[in-house]
Structure 1
């Protein structure tokens, strides 16, 4: 079975994240969305709410599993028996960062990283921008997956 993790904070889960999962499912049997818990990162939504929102979104897709984690990403991947990490990249800066992390992950755990380039129409969508819009009570419905309950 080809299982990948898709790690991130997902605060909140955007249409860009949704696109990565949808595309990963075309070549993976299963995708585990790993919601990272980072005590040093201030989040808008508590971990329980992020898990609930994403689980609700994928309730009818058995090939998607949602799990929170607070370890190194490679340790999380090993714990769920994933041999791949899927990441979405929007910019050259993202690519450079992800390339470095992918090299380290491969050296430490033999886990391969698959980078999916963001679809051009989604390159401006980021959780950071969506969080800021939420803080100012703006409508974010065009930036989150249809049917996702915030």
Structure 2
């Protein structure tokens, strides 16, 4: 059985992330989705908790018909030592043979750890970009079409959009 990992912060999980998950699942039997910076929440860059991000991902994958036996979702806290991060990840997850990543640091660290790297396509990265989506939420601009509808509805239900605006102190209309 071939298993891969897909690390990300998923702040929030968007349609670009979903495209990477689908692409990766064409190449492996199982995918471990790593929710990175698991200890972070309620900040501009990391507004959602690890638990909220796990729920977003599960809802989105269910919405798009991806069977639960094809993936794991595992939260992993940061460590402040990049040179051992790949080994840190290995402690938290089942065995894997491949990493799906575009982040240059992640690619470098897993290469140095001797793991095969598969770099997914960008999938309209300019549009599907968590930093942009958070900015659109803060500015009260349209972002609904950038995330799965289940993720949009979930963020609204937990008032995640309000949280993000309050964190920034923004009152723009």
Could you say which structure has the higher helix fraction?
A: 2
Q: Which residue of 1 aligns with 2:146?
A: 143
Answer whether contact 2:39 2:50 (CA < 8 A) is retained: no
Shift in CA distance, 138/130, structure 1 to aligned 2, threshold 3 Å:
same
Identify the match of residue 104 of structure 1 among 100, 109, 114.
109
Q: CA shift at 1:13, angstroms?
A: 0.8
Structure 2: tracts of 5 or more residues without a match: 79-84, 156-173
Q: CA shift at 1:101, angstroms?
A: 4.2
CA distance in 2, matches of 1:49, 1:38: 10
Equivalent runs, 1:79-118 vs 2, <5 Å: 79-88=93-102, 98=104, 101-108=106-113, 110-118=114-122
Aligned residue pair count: 138
TM-score by length of 2: 0.69
Partner-residue secondary structure (3-state), 1:142: helix
**Which segment is superposed worse, 1-10 or 61-70?**
61-70
Q: Is it true that 1:45 corresponds to 2:48 in the alignment?
A: yes
Q: CA shift at 1:4, angstroms?
A: 0.8
Q: Which residue of 2 aligns with 1:3?
A: 3
Partner-residue secondary structure (3-state), 1:138: coil
Q: CA shift at 1:102, angstroms?
A: 2.6
**Which segment is superposed worse, 123-132 or 30-39?**
30-39
CA distance in 2, matches of 1:34, 1:83: 15
Partner-residue secondary structure (3-state), 1:44: coil
Whose Rg is larger?
2
Shift in CA distance, 82/146, structure 1 to aligned 2, threshold 3 Å:
same
Q: Which residue of 1 aligns with 2:75?
A: 68
Structure 1: tracts of 5 or more residues without a match: 89-93
CA distance in 2, matches of 1:105, 1:135: 34
TM-score by length of 1: 0.79
